[in-house]
Amino acid sequence: MTAEHRADAVQTDREYLLQTYVKPDFVLERGAGVYLFDTAGRRYLDYVSGIAVNALGYGDPEITQTIATQAAQLIHVSNLYHTAPAGELARLLVTSSPAFARVFFGNSGAEAIEAALKFARRYARAHFGEGKTAVVACDGSFHGRTMGAVAITAREKYREPFMPVMPGARFTRYNDVAALEAAIDATVCAVVIEPVQGEGGLRVADPAFLQAARTLCDRHGALLIFDEIQCGMGRTGTLWAHEASGVRPDMLAVAKPLANGLPIGAVLLTQAIADTIQIGDHGTTFGGNPLVTAVAGVVFRRISNPTFLAHVQTVANYLDEALQDLAAELSGTVLELRGRGLMRGLRLAGSAAVAREAAQRHGLLVATAGDDVVRLLPPLIIEPVHVDEALALLRQALK
Ligand SMILES: *Cc1c(COP(=O)(O)O)cnc(C)c1O
């Protein structure tokens, strides 16, 4: 692609696409492993992964082959019919944890949250009648952009311009057991928590907070929903981020990495909840189609393999040590390290967006979380050598 074509692609995007994102001036064209290449042939080490989506990186032969084979065989028939890949993926997901008995497939994280909210309302109505409709979420939360998901998303900027959103949402303080206790009463049907917050700044839930949420939900007949759309599927070194706490939620929302870039969302739920959902209560045209679920089946098998998870833990420990060295060296710039596994945040003294752009200029893609946190979400397949490379580039960018 010539420089002119490149300018055209940027110009066309800016002229015709609804402008809801700030994008840099390069145009990405191709990916290989943990690297992306723009139309000028420039290489970027990718510590964004399409926002925690491309867990297996780019150009994975098994993913590419599965897409080609399944696309030739059958892409979509709707949920009016059985297909084998959806059932097989459901079996894999449900049997991954003793907590769950069923799964519902949608097309995105927000849809997984919407489904979980509807199931919680349905369950509450079946067991307690009308009026038990409130939902408790945390400060710093992000659950999506639809009217239900955005209602339980803390940032006012995302919510206020669209009021009235779903009524009944209330916010409490993340990791504050006393505040949670005060927020829950008999009118609450669900509590929604990210075991590791993504957009909210990479804060990690204390096991005691999750345990308290479990106890309080049980006491008040509310369902506990964990949003692992970003932190789930191996990103923190275990298959599910909440595993470390020993707490079992009633529902688990999963999405971003599940099909390595094809759109999918899923809610795992208990049999007790499933028992209150009837035919026709919820639905989707595209959700769980054979193409997406065939790919997700491959992704799930790969990531849930103990050898793969051990690799994530090893490389995450290596990253952690490297980040601690960097933070010690640049102690006036990097104020705090956050997150867990391959989901890390650096709280900076200055602007995260400025740091992100400097990193980009040096050939490293990073994300941000809020105004002052740089967010690192590399593909889970990174090796120590990619940590060394990233930290060298980040060091240059932050200096
Ligand atoms: C991205 C995200 C969502 C929303 O997912 P979409 O696919 O963008 O709708 C919800 N919760 C968390 C924790 C997320 O990171």
> Percent of the chain, pLDDT > 70?
100
> Distance (Å, rounded) from C-alpha 232 to C-alpha 260?
13
Count of other CB atoms within 10 angstroms of residue 218:
12
Count of other CB atoms within 10 angstroms of residue 78:
13
State the Rg of the chain over Cα.
21
> Distance (Å, rounded) from C-alpha 166 to C-alpha 145?
12
> Distance (Å, rounded) from C-alpha 393 to C-alpha 374?
14
Q: Which residue has the tokens 């994300």?
A: 367
Nearest partner of 120 among 315, 7, 270, judged by Cα: 270
CATH of domain 74-304: 3.40.640.10
Q: Establish whether residue 235 lines the binding site of ligand 1, counting it when its CB lies within 6 angstroms of any ligand atom.
A: no
- Tell me, in angstroms, the distance from the centre of ligand 1 to residue 228's CA: 9
- Tell me, in angstroms, the distance from the centre of ligand 1 to residue 201's CA: 14
Q: State whether the Cα torsion 45-49-54-59 is positive or negative.
A: negative
Backbone φ, ψ for residue 30 (5° rounding): -160, 150
Give the Å distances, CA to CA, from 168 to 189, 191, 269, 347.
10, 12, 22, 33
Residue 5 is predicted with a pLDDT of: 75
Q: State whether the Cα torsion 282-286-292-293 is positive or negative.
A: positive
Listed by start position, the domains of the chain span: 3-60+306-398, 74-304
> Distance (Å, rounded) from C-alpha 159 to C-alpha 389?
39
Residue 143 is predicted with a pLDDT of: 98
Q: Establish whether residue 142 lines the binding site of ligand 1, counting it when its CB lies within 6 angstroms of any ligand atom.
A: yes
Nearest partner of 276 among 148, 118, 137, 82, judged by Cα: 118
Angle, CA 96 vertex, CA 208 and CA 69 arms, to 5°: 140
| H or E stretch covering 87 | helix 84-94
Taking only the tens place, the pLDDT of each residue in 236-274 is 999 999 999 999 999 999 999 999 999 999 999 999 999
- Tell me, in angstroms, the distance from the centre of ligand 1 to residue 142's CA: 7
Confidence of residue 1 (pLDDT cuts 50, 70, 90): low
Q: Establish whether residue 250 lines the binding site of ligand 1, counting it when its CB lies within 6 angstroms of any ligand atom.
A: no
Pairing of strands 188-193, 134-138: parallel
Q: Which atom of ligand 1 is nearest to the CA of 144?
A: 4
CA-proximal residue: ligand 1, atom 5 (nearest): 109
Is the pLDDT at 36 greater than 90, yes or no? yes
Query: Going by C-beta distance under 8 Å and a sequence separation of 6 or more, which residues neighbour residue 302?
Result: 56, 62, 308
Q: What is the dihedral of CA 21, 257, 86, 145, to 10 degrees?
A: -30
Q: Establish whether residue 300 lines the binding site of ligand 1, counting it when its CB lies within 6 angstroms of any ligand atom.
A: no
Confidence of residue 4 (pLDDT cuts 50, 70, 90): confident
SS3 state at 343: strand
Mutate to test the pocket of ligand 1, among 51, 230, 236 (most ligand atoms within 8 A of CB): 230
Regarding pTM above 0.75, the answer is yes
Confidence of residue 358 (pLDDT cuts 50, 70, 90): very high
- Tell me, in angstroms, the distance from the centre of ligand 1 to residue 236's CA: 17
Q: Which residue has the tokens 């098994």?
A: 62
Query: Going by C-beta distance under 8 Å and a sequence separation of 6 or more, which residues neighbour residue 256?
Result: 51, 52, 53, 109, 229, 230, 233
Average pLDDT, the chain: 97
Pair of tokens at residue 364: 């490293």
| H or E stretch covering 193 | strand 188-193
CATH classification number, 3-60+306-398, choose in 3.90.1150.10, 3.30.70.890, 1.10.20.140, 3.40.50.10190: 3.90.1150.10
Pairing of strands 169-172, 134-138: parallel
Nearest partner of 279 among 108, 75, 147, 122, judged by Cα: 122
Confidence of residue 7 (pLDDT cuts 50, 70, 90): confident
Q: Which atom of ligand 1 is nearest to the CA of 255?
A: 7
Confidence of residue 2 (pLDDT cuts 50, 70, 90): confident
Is the pLDDT at 157 greater than 80, yes or no? yes
